[in-house]
Chains A and B, each alone.
Chain A
Amino acid sequence: DAKTTQPNSMESNEEEPVHLPCNHSTISGTDYIHWYRQLPSQGPEYVIHGLTSNVNNRMASLAIAEDRKSSTLILHRATLRDAAVYYCILRDVGETSGSRLTFGEGTQLTVNP
């Protein structure tokens, strides 16, 4: 799996936007960029994924650099419930559904009231 680099921790204030960066300079042309988050004492949950174009869903937006060597997860208005560890993971689009996800250390997001 191609390696991703994320800051260990970030802080935000409630109701403000949060931009979580991820560097993946060795990304291949067939790698999807996935984001998962893990709330305390829970299993990870899917947030968003994309290949080349920016993506939006009800949880977040994903901005992908033109050269695809970095991406940013955007939470438009952080809430206390968004405090979690956010993982940026690459997965080859050619892999079968039986291929595994490899987790890095992720970014611990703290949201201040």
Chain B
Amino acid sequence: GAVVSQHPSRVICKSGTSVKIECRSLDFQATTMFWYRQFPKKSLMLMATSNEGSKATYEQGVEKDKFLINHASLTLSTLTVTSAHPEDSSFYICSAPDNYGYTFGSGTRLTVV
């Protein structure tokens, strides 16, 4: 089946630094990628939608200058958390539509210290 490879799976960074998360569709073309954030014991919350070749669409309350999304090709979308702060610590998950519905990446656990 369809696979979305997400890296890194876990990252620890210092406050003020930037972190890039990559999601690659391995055996299909992902013209759209959804980026979610999940806090402990909570459900997934959509942050933004990226479309190959155009600007990402951000959900209300999500700072586009802080969460930079790039969808450079049909198989790669990236999320960069800029000037990270401890409150950005969370589980970030990407997802792309496939034949059945959606395929999700394995998630990135970001810890900002």
Contact = CB atoms under 8 A, between A and B. Distances in A.
Given A98-B31, A102-B46, A106-B43, A41 B104 contact: no
B32 A103 contact: no
Main secondary structure of the interface of B (DSSP, over half): strand
Main secondary structure of the interface of A (DSSP, over half): loop
Contacts of B95: 43-44, 101
Interface in B52-110: 91, 93-95, 97, 100-107, 109
A45 B95 CA distance: 10
Interface of B: 4, 6, 31-32, 34, 36, 43-46, 49, 51, 91, 93-95, 97, 100-107, 109
Interface of A: 34, 36, 38, 41-46, 49, 87, 91, 97-98, 100-106
